[in-house]
Amino acid sequence: MLFIQDGVGDRPIYKLGRRTPLEAANTPNMDNLARNAVNGLMDPLAPGIRVGTDVGHLALFGYNPLRTYWGRGPIEAAGINIKLEPQDIALRCNFATVDEQMRVKDRRAGRIREGTRRLARELNGLRIADDIEVIFKEATEHRAVLVLRGEKLSPEITDTDPGPEHIGEKVRRCEPSEPGLGLAQRTADAVNKFVERSHEILKDHPTNKARVEAGKLPANIVLTRGAGAALRMRSITERFGLQGACVAGESTVLGVARMAGFDIFTSPRFTANVDTVLEDKARYAIEALKVHDLVVLHVKGTDILSHDNRPLDKMHFIEKIDEMLGLVLSQIDEKVYVALGADHSTPCEVGDHTADPVPITIYGPDVLADNVAGYSERSCQRGGLCRLTANQFLLTLLDFMGFTYRYGS
């Protein structure tokens, strides 16, 4: 069983006595595990390289993101269970708020959580060209996915979302990433048409009128980014001969897991935020372990609180995760290997992913316990695993479980 605390890695925080949230948190279960385990540091790709949640999870699931990663869109599509056909182009979308001059007021429409299914239905199946089918579906909160289905489309296009550093600027035109890409021009035209039509359709929608009346920002446009073509990945079952399960709420993680061939255990109660129901995650994971070789349990809240620079809340949330871990440990066989890891660090005071390595732990009947003091960024510096990449971390875990192959004879 592999526990992933998204973005848990942090840096010393003055208010916490120059400790990290993980160091400051009271985590008896993680610490006890680490003290009887082999520990170390992990770089998602390599030291000094920052990664996103998508790339971090591709690496943790044993893939080489440099070979398999072609844009976030297809991962988000998989996350909400849209099956892509080989020629499809998928884009991540946000419901957002623009003013009358099409300037972006809020990229997340006030982090809208309700009513997006109704809005999405208005856009799904939209006719923007005779030979391009539009599939549009809401994801968690303000997120959604756009799929363009048709021939002669290209993922080499730019984003219409101007990004977090350009609030107040106009919605961008979608363009080919490089001039002269004919298929990309055709695709960009379709995206621009879709974004324009989304504004026309959504701006006077009853859901938005109600939001404005309630003092909320209207979800009056869809912004696009991360265009990508369908990925082809060999599943973990094909690669290692194992059955995997992933317990998670976040669509990105679910998307990567689904593409990697994991069985998915999710629920509307898994909010990919701090209000997720951790006890249910624990229960699902224990259940999944009965019929799977590898169970991944992912928690997103740590990353959310880091992006929002809330170190104290992060510390408390880590303590809740520790309780969840205790619940799982109390109910699984002592022969099960239990690993702790993360997809990347998200130091609160940076508010973004950094390349700081994350602490890792492998606990199980046959590991050489290395006598570290507990599970944290600092104590794991002295661990017996030394410093591994995410791929190496997974392979080491699978090797203990007996799922690797010998090279040579």
**Cβ closer to a second copy: 95 or 400?**
400
Amino acid at 343: D
* Sequence-separated (6 or more) residues with CB below 8 Å from residue 54: 69, 72, 75, 252, 255, 256
CA distances from 17 to 46, 98, 314, 322, 353 (A): 30, 42, 15, 21, 22
Q: Which of residues 72-131 bind a second copy (CB under 8 A)?
A: 72, 92
| Per CB under 8 A, 387 contacts a second copy | yes
324 vs 297: CA distance, rounded Å: 11
Q: How far is the CB of 224 from a second copy (least distance, A)?
A: 13
Cβ proximity to a second copy, 258 vs 353, nearer residue: 353
- 33 is a site residue for a second copy (CB under 8 A): no
Interface size with a second copy, residues (CB under 8 A): 63
Radius of gyration of the chain (CA): 22
Nearer to a second copy, 42 or 282 (CB): 42
When the beta carbons of 201 and 395 are compared against a second copy, the nearer one is 395
Instruction: Render 160-199 in DSSP notation, one character per residue.
Output: SS--GGGTTSBPPPP-BSSTT-HHHHHHHHHHHHHHHHHH
User: How does strand 244-247 pair with strand 294-299?
Assistant: parallel
Q: Which is nearer to a second copy, 282 or 348 (CB)?
A: 348
- For residues 372 and 380, is the Cβ–Cβ distance under 8 A? yes
Tell me the closest approach of the beta carbon of residue 348 to a second copy, in angstroms.
Answer: 11
CB of 125 to a second copy, least distance (A): 27
Tracing tokens 């809020």 back to the chain, one arrives at 106
At 72, the amino acid letter reads R
Name the helix (H) or strand (E) containing 393.
helix 390-401
Cβ neighbours of 203 (radius 10 Å) = 15
Give yes or no for residue 408 binding a second copy (CB under 8 A).
yes
Q: How far is the CB of 399 from a second copy (least distance, A)?
A: 4
Candidates 50, 149, 269, 316: give the one binding a second copy (CB under 8 A). 50
Pick from 27, 29, 53, 68: which binds a second copy (CB under 8 A)?
53
**CB-nearer residue toward a second copy: 276 or 391:** 391
Q: Is 382 a residue that touches a second copy (CB under 8 A)?
A: yes
Q: Can residue 54 be called a binding residue for a second copy (CB under 8 A)?
A: yes
Q: What's at 349, amino acid-wise? A: E
User: Rounded to an integer, what distance in angstroms lies between the CA atom of residue 272 and that of residue 224?
Assistant: 21
Cα 301 to Cα 35: distance, rounded to the nearest angstrom: 25
**353 near a second copy, judged by CB under 8 A:** yes
The residue within the footprint of a second copy, chosen from 30, 45, 89, 338 (CB under 8 A), is 45
Residue type present at position 361:
T
- Within residues 218-277, the interface with a second copy by CB under 8 A covers 225-226
Q: Which of 10/313 has CB closer to a second copy?
A: 10
> Judged by CB, which is closer to a second copy: 88, or 161?
161
List the alpha helices (DSSP H) in 270-346: 278-289, 301-307, 311-329
DSSP secondary structure, 31-59, as one string: HHHHHTSEEEEEESSSTT----HHHHHHH
Among 80, 327, 332, 395, the residue binding a second copy under the rule CB under 8 A is 395
- 167: contact with a second copy by CB under 8 A: no
Select from 30, 41, 77, 289 the one that contacts a second copy (CB under 8 A): 41
- Asked if 375 interacts with a second copy (CB under 8 A), we say no
Interface residues toward a second copy, by CB under 8 A: 11-12, 20, 38, 41, 45-56, 58, 65, 69, 72, 92, 225-226, 347, 349-350, 352-356, 366-370, 377-378, 381-388, 391-396, 398-400, 402, 404-409
